[in-house]
Amino acid sequence: MSELKVKTMAEFMAEGKEADILFWVGSAGSFDDRAKKITRSFVEIMNKAGVNFGVLGSEESSSGDAAKRSGNEFLFQMQAMMNIEVMNAYNVKRIVTTCPHSYNTLKNEYKGLGGDYKVQHHTEFIAELLSEGKLKVTGDLSGKKITYHDPCYLGRANNVYEIPRELIKSLGVELAEMKRSKRKSFCCGAGGAQMFKDPEKGQQDININRTEEALALKPDIIATGCPFCNTMMTDGVKSVNEGAAQVKDIAELIAENI
Amino acid sequence: MMELSNIIFLIVFVVFISVFVRNFSRIISNIKLGRDIDRSDRKADRWKNMFRVAMGQSKMTRRPVAGILHIIVYVGFLIINIEMIEIIIDGIFGTHRFLSTILSEGLYTFLIGSFEVLAILVLVACVIFLVRRNLIRINRFWNKEMTSWPRTDANLILIFEILLMSAFLIMNATDAMLVANSADHYTISFSDPVSQYFHFLFNGMENSTLILVERFAWWFHIVGILIFMNYVLISKHLHIFFAFPSTYFANLNNLGQFDNLESVTKEVKLMMDPNSDPFAAAPEGSTPPQSFGAKDVTDLNWVQLLNAYSCTECGRCTDNCPANHTGKLLSPRKILMDTRDRITEYVDNKRKGTEDTKSLLGDYITTEELWACTSCNACTDACPIELDPLSIILDMRRYLVMEQSAAPTELNMMFTNVENNGAPWQFPAADRLNWKDE
């Protein structure tokens, strides 16, 4: 396994230096086994492009997205203010994150509480690296069929639809669109803190419904840009038709092909 | 000189308009029962949004069939109502086709001609709408919350409109026949691109019978509109007025951005301030804090209440809701319908002085519905007039969590983890960088 170059903001400070950008890893990216692989892939990309980034490490704490969306505004604002205090102390200006939930919260909801940052989703950031020539796609996945599942908190919530698709297309693959895509995209079932609880009773679980739609296209890979969507779709593929397709984050697809 | 019929018209007109004004202002005061929310910012963007979404119908055509039919009815209704000016003046002063005396012949011809074309288009569109609802039985019109009244309401509106348009065309048809017969009083010819094809219905009638039919259609048309106006106030059809303020006062931020409760911010800042005195008395004149979140309609803000009155129950929100789609109880349309039903009940009880022990939470909306929401914003995106049922769901969750500590057990565990170790799972913060070496 390749050695990753990762420095914390505290280490930067101790050296009297500043990072250009803060990589917000997020709780899923830090602790969930599947999401940790996405984190590593994204760091590989940044290492390759020579990005001068820092992480908060043990000083990072939940963004508060799940708390807020389940109605615990107290806990959300406690989290937000603590995180803002830490980030402002490190003079953070730019943030990149692999989690659309953190992305949405940090970008839209922290600014009213004293945290004003330029926040990017990792797909936006990777696209920038590519267009600036700091990164080159060398691999070729042509012949593979990929479908892209829009994370709600990246798509509908923040209107980022095209950039992830452009990244996928840059790999030379066939991008097959589900009928419910972009603004009409169907949720994976994890948002609004559903990730942390059992679904209410119904005829079907939401992730199964979405996975069936994706698998109907017979893709080799279901790509997404969210650790929660990744979990839901991975579970979905397991119960609908195990092995029918891989579920991958765009960061992983890019990391494997640069 | 005013004749008896003019006096009757004036009385009918004034009575219906006064009832309308009284009931309409009651609705406005009901909406004002909501908590305050500041939507006075970004005025230019708000006007733009209203022009684009409400007047321009920009979101309606996402479903092309319903969208185009709706635009026909909308444009038809707006334009044909110009005819109201003439009808009212004729009614009060006993003139006949007053506009023809002040407009150029060409313009009058054009106006009446276009009214007729629009009238027939509206009529046909309404028939298609009836067929879609009742014969094709499009799913979203048959969900659980679409019980007998909402279904009857929808059909009544369509039948009303069909009758009004028919009356208008019959009026013109018989009028033109009377002009051709050179009947007294009927001296103004006008263009009748549509109603001329309805002459066969009245062929062979005496002038006196034709006049009877013409007058009946005239009265039916104007009284019908006056009744319809008043009916709209107790119907889902209220969107014809409230679509405009709803889009003006809509949330213009990214859909993902939820409001930060200010009352909470104050408390959290106090908690985090090492110099604050936890035992300090509240400063004089300070208002006691409101409850957090919403239990009843009066805990919602006025935009949310305006939304409830604006919903025309088209069901696009529910049709796109992932929870509803997979058989859960939640239906965003029902959230808005419940809110309106409850505010109506709340105000009625107040007026009558009846004891009211009910609330929106529990008696109308159950916790099972609230916890099924994934906050995915499919509903708010789908709404053709940018109503926001999701904000009501969130405010009710806030009440459940912050006032009643009544979150599902798993979510309470998640809260505890975030409080203790800063992650929704039970991992220590010290392990946050472990991925680096795995």
Decide if B366 is inside a domain.
Answer: yes
Measure the CA–CA gap between B34 and B55, rounded to whole angstroms. Answer: 26
pLDDT lower than 70: segments of chain B: 1-2, 278, 283, 285-289
Do B233 and B301 lie in one domain? The reply is: no
- Nearest CB among A29, A70, A158 relative to B256 is that of A158
Partners of residue A193 in chain B, C-beta under 8 Å: 411, 414
Q: Where are the alpha helices (DSSP H) in B273-408?
A: 302-310, 316-320, 322-325, 332-352, 367-371, 378-382, 389-398
- How many domains, chain B? 2
Do B241 and B305 lie in one domain? The reply is: no
Domain span at B191: 4-31+63-248
Q: Which amino acid is at B177?
A: M
Do B10 and B144 lie in one domain? The reply is: yes
Q: Is A204 within 8 Å of B373 when comparing Cβ atoms?
A: no
For B431, nearest residue in chain A (alpha carbons): A58
Do B221 and B337 lie in one domain? The reply is: no
Copy the structure tokens of residue B238: 């209220």
- Which H or E run contains A128? helix A122-131
Partners of residue A226 in chain B, C-beta under 8 Å: none
Decide if B51 is inside a domain.
Answer: no
Do B118 and B15 lie in one domain? The reply is: yes
Partners of residue A156 in chain B, C-beta under 8 Å: 255-256, 376-378, 381
| Residue B391 belongs to domain with CATH number | 1.10.1060
Copy the structure tokens of residue B185: 């009083």
Q: What is the pLDDT of residue B274?
A: 80
Q: Is B433 within 8 Å of A39 when comparing Cβ atoms?
A: no
Q: Are A255 and A41 in contact (CB under 8 A)?
A: yes
For B292, nearest residue in chain A (alpha carbons): A73
Contacts of A108 (CB under 8 A, 6+ apart): A158, B253, B254, B256, B257
Partners of residue A153 in chain B, C-beta under 8 Å: 256
Do B200 and B304 lie in one domain? The reply is: no
Do B267 and B215 lie in one domain? The reply is: no
- Nearest CB among B254, B326, B435 relative to A204 is that of B326
Partners of residue B375 in chain A, C-beta under 8 Å: 69, 152, 191-192
Decide if B55 is inside a domain.
Answer: no
Strands A221-224 and A246-249: parallel
Answer left, alpha or beta for residue B42, where phi above 0 means left and psi between -120 and 50 means alpha: left
The DSSP call for residue B360 is I
Q: What is the pLDDT of residue B288?
A: 67
Decide if B38 is inside a domain.
Answer: no
Do B327 and B381 lie in one domain? The reply is: yes
pLDDT digits (tens, 9 = 90+) for A181-239: 999 999 999 999 999 999 999 999 999 999 999 999 999 999 999 999 999 999 999 99
pLDDT digits (tens, 9 = 90+) for A102-152: 999 999 999 999 999 999 999 999 999 999 999 999 878 888 999 999 999
For B427, nearest residue in chain A (alpha carbons): A31
Do B153 and B23 lie in one domain? The reply is: yes
Q: Is the pTM of this model over 0.80?
A: yes
Measure CA B431 to chain center: 52
Of B327, B291, B253, B241, nearest to B404 (Cα)?
B291
Measure the CA–CA gap between B340 and B265, rounded to whole angstroms. Answer: 30
Q: Is A27 within 8 Å of B378 when comparing Cβ atoms?
A: no
Residue A224: φ, ψ to 5°: -150, 180
Do B381 and B335 lie in one domain? The reply is: yes
For chain B, give the longest Cα–Cα distance: 100
Q: Is A73 within 8 Å of B260 when comparing Cβ atoms?
A: yes
Do B231 and B327 lie in one domain? The reply is: no
- Which H or E run contains A147? strand A145-148
Decide if B433 is inside a domain.
Answer: no
Measure the CA–CA gap between B412 and B409, rounded to whole angstroms. Answer: 5
Q: Is A27 within 8 Å of B400 when comparing Cβ atoms?
A: no
- Nearest CB among B261, B397, B423 relative to A62 is that of B423
- Nearest CB among A69, A71, A209 relative to B293 is that of A71
Residue A121: φ, ψ to 5°: -80, 150
Dihedral in degrees, nearest 10, Cα atoms B229, B233, B238, B244 = 80
For A66, nearest residue in chain B (alpha carbons): B424
pLDDT digits (tens, 9 = 90+) for A81-100: 999 999 999 999 999 999 99
Q: What is the pLDDT of residue B185?
A: 87
Contacts of B15 (CB under 8 A, 6+ apart): none
Copy the structure tokens of residue B328: 């859960």
Decide if B36 is inside a domain.
Answer: no
Of B298, B297, B300, B368, nearest to B331 (Cα)?
B368
Q: Is B320 within 8 Å of A184 when comparing Cβ atoms?
A: yes
Q: What is the mean pLDDT of chain A?
A: 96
Provide the shortest C-alpha distance from residue A172 to chain B (in Å): 30
Burial annotation A58-95 (CB, 10 A radius, 16+ → b, else e):
bbbbbbbbbbbbbbbbbbbbbbbbbbbebbeebebeeb
Q: Is A30 within 8 Å of B433 when comparing Cβ atoms?
A: yes
Percent of chain A with pLDDT over 70: 99
For B368, nearest residue in chain A (alpha carbons): A200
HSE, side-chain direction, 13 A CA sphere, residue A71: 30
- Nearest CB among B330, B419, B432 relative to A57 is that of B432
Q: What is the pLDDT of residue A1?
A: 54
Q: What's the alpha-carbon Rg for chain A, to the nearest Å?
A: 18
Of B403, B376, B206, B383, nearest to B296 (Cα)?
B403
Strands A221-224 and A21-24: unpaired
Q: Is B374 within 8 Å of A204 when comparing Cβ atoms?
A: no
Chain A interface test: which of B376, B413, B420 (most A C-beta within 10 Å): B376
Q: Is B372 within 8 Å of A200 when comparing Cβ atoms?
A: yes
Measure the CA–CA gap between A197 and B410, rounded to whole angstroms. Answer: 5
Q: Is B399 within 8 Å of A71 when comparing Cβ atoms?
A: yes
Partners of residue A60 in chain B, C-beta under 8 Å: 422, 429, 432
Q: Is B326 within 8 Å of A184 when comparing Cβ atoms?
A: no
Decide if B46 is inside a domain.
Answer: no
> CB B244: neighbour CB atoms within 10 A?
17
Do B369 and B244 lie in one domain? The reply is: no
Decide if B435 is inside a domain.
Answer: no
Of A5, A42, A230, nearest to A129 (Cα)?
A42
Measure the CA–CA gap between A137 and B278, rounded to whole angstroms. Answer: 58
